[in-house]
Amino acid sequence: MKKWSIIVLLFFFVAIWQAVSVYRAAMAPKETLLEKAEQRAIEEANLSDIQAANTYYGEKTYAVVEGTDKKGTKKIVWVPAKGGHIVVKRAKSGITKQEAIEKLKADRQPKEIISAKLGMEKGVPLWELTYIEQDNRYSFYYVSFADGAFLKRYSFQQ
């Protein structure tokens, strides 16, 4: 009986070790993308401080970096994953996260808002809002970063 306990315990530890290894290997490209994007934002957009960075997966993958320059101006930088030109906007030149959420609430009356993050589609900076509709469908709502204009919406069928 003691042998079986040791074998089961050993198997358990090996399984956990393998799960952690697989998770780290899966997350490595995303972490590398964000690190490279932050470095490009510092160099090319002259950011001195980074407050947030996230990855947007749309038609093309972008890392979106939010920070301030040396003068204290808040900027948002869209960095394409596969190289290319970055897009730099002053945070004041577009709508805020809260304003995007208010547009969603006014138009769709969501049951629950899951997330709101910046992204880019076809060269247009946007807010991607993920939410649950009243009939429990997982949905996405896109508004322009510049003026909050509705761009598109889609939902998964139940």
pLDDT digits (tens, 9 = 90+) for 88-141: 999 999 999 999 999 999 999 999 999 999 999 999 999 999 999 988 899 999
Give the integer Cα–Cα distance in Å for 148 and 22.
40
Give the integer Cα–Cα distance in Å for 76 and 92.
10
Q: Counting beta carbons within 10 angstroms of the beta carbon of residue 151, is it exposed (0 to 12), middle (13 to 18) or buried (19 or more)?
A: middle
**What kind of fold does domain 2-91 have according to CATH?**
Nuclear Transport Factor 2; Chain: A, (3.10.450)
**Residue 25 identity (one-letter amino acid):** A
Location of each CATH 3.10.450.40 domain in the chain: 2-91, 97-155
What is the CATH number assigned to the segment(s) 97-155? 3.10.450.40
Position 76 scores a pLDDT of 96
CB 76 within 8 Å of CB 139: no
Q: Looking at the predicted structure, is the pLDDT value of residue 158 above 70? A: no
* pLDDT confidence band for 19 (50 / 70 / 90): confident
What is the Cα 110 distance to its own chain's centre? 20
Give the integer Cα–Cα distance in Å for 35 and 55.
11
